[in-house]
Amino acid sequence: MQLVPAEEAARRSQLGLRQLFRLVEAGHVHFVKTSEGQLLICLDSLREV
């Protein structure tokens, strides 16, 4: 499992940040929120969408 910042995940998947956040909110993409508030997106789950 590879976790990357939301901006990088959006770039790699050719999605806009809003599209990515919608997928996160809908529960389609796994993520971790750091103590600093940054979202780290699981690339494996993003590839499955």
- Positive/negative CA dihedral, 15, 2, 33, 49: positive
Nearby residues of 15 by Cβ (< 8 Å), 6 or more positions away: 9, 23
Q: What is the DSSP letter of 31?
A: E
pLDDT averaged over consecutive 10-residue blocks of the chain (49 residues)?
Answer: 97 97 97 97 95
| Amino acid code (one letter) for 10 | A
- Tell me how many domains the chain contains: 1
* Domain interval for residue 35: 3-47
Question: How much is the pLDDT for 43?
Answer: 97
Model pLDDT, residue 27: 97
Largest CA distance in the chain: 27
| Residue 24 and residue 31 in contact, taking contact as beta carbons nearer than 8 Å | yes
Residue 44: its pLDDT value, please?
Answer: 96
Tokens of 22: 């919608």
